[in-house]
Amino acid sequence: MKCWIVGIQDEWCSLVHIETRGKARAWAARMYDQEFVDLYARRLPELDNKPITHGNAKAAGFEYEDESWGGFIKPEEFINDCRCEICKTINI
């Protein structure tokens, strides 16, 4: 399953496993109550078919920034909103 970074430029983003760019944007529009046209989706192929975890994301070169203190979020603060079969096993 392909992994996508989806969000609104310079505001927020999330990671999701889904088949296409359009489906990634549609998922984010529903999940976060956003306008489809405001959303971008960019591939993160290093996370294809891998659970979205803090460690896997960091190994793929992706980290969420914590703007409250100007660093990156800690592993215990990492949230995975993806509900695919690959990620379901780690969300239990």
Taking CA atoms, 34 is separated from 73, 87, 90, in Å, by 24, 23, 26
Residue 92 has pLDDT above 60, yes or no: no
d(CA 20, CA 18) in angstroms, rounded, equals 6
Cα 66 → chain centroid? 15
- The domains of the chain are located at 3-88
- What are the structure tokens assigned to 14, written together? 């999330």
Digit-coded pLDDT (tens) for 15-71: 999 999 999 999 999 999 999 999 999 999 999 999 999 999 999 999 998 877 778
Query: Model-level pTM?
Result: 0.91
- For 31-43, give the DSSP string: HHT--GGG-EEEE
Q: What are phi and psi of 45, to 5 degrees?
A: -60, -20
Residue 91 has pLDDT above 60, yes or no: no
- What are the structure tokens assigned to 70, written together? 């100007």
d(CA 39, CA 8) in angstroms, rounded, equals 5
